[in-house]
Amino acid sequence: MNETIESTPKKYKYSWGIEATLDVIGGKWKPLVIYQLRDGTLRFSQIADRVTPRITQRMLTKELRELEKDGLVTRKVYPQVPPKVEYSLTETAQSLIPILDQLCNWGYDHMNEDIEFKCEE
């Protein structure tokens, strides 16, 4: 019985909420992928078109898989040839959109001469 208790992995306890948030959406690409899905469902190629050439298809696939694993993105596969796969945000991810909007606006307000597009409102 002692062996079972010791071999059971413990769930990590975060010290701060921001630490937990960054663990799930941190990095260069995940916030951009989430932001592209804010208005609805997109196919892989549509997401890639919006974030390329800055991200490779391999990295986009990796990020989408992680977002799906963390419960922020749903992936729907249609049984057809060629395969059709659509991605959309979960309700949990939708709750991040106001925060990402604020980050987008902050960037525009403080670095607008270096930004190609204005944030959507």
Distances (CA, A) of 99 to 6, 72, 103, 118: 39, 15, 6, 16
> Binning pLDDT at 50, 70 and 90, where does residue 121 land?
low
Is residue 88 within a helix (H) or strand (E), and if so which, with residue range?
strand 84-89
In the structure encoding, which two tokens stand for residue 75, read together? 């992936």
pTM reported for the whole predicted model: 0.81
In the structure encoding, which two tokens stand for residue 119, read together? 């944030």
What are the residue boundaries of the structural domains of the chain, listed by start? 16-114
Among residues 20, 37, 23, 46, the alpha carbon closest in space to that of 100 is found at 37
| pLDDT above 80 for 112 | no
From CA 81, how far away is CA 15, in angstroms rounded? Answer: 47
From CA 114, how far away is CA 103, in angstroms rounded? Answer: 15
What is the structure's pLDDT at 64? Answer: 97
**Tokens 């799906």 label which residue?**
68
In the structure encoding, which two tokens stand for residue 20, read together? 């937990």
Fold classification of 16-114 (topology level) = Arc Repressor Mutant, subunit A (1.10.10)
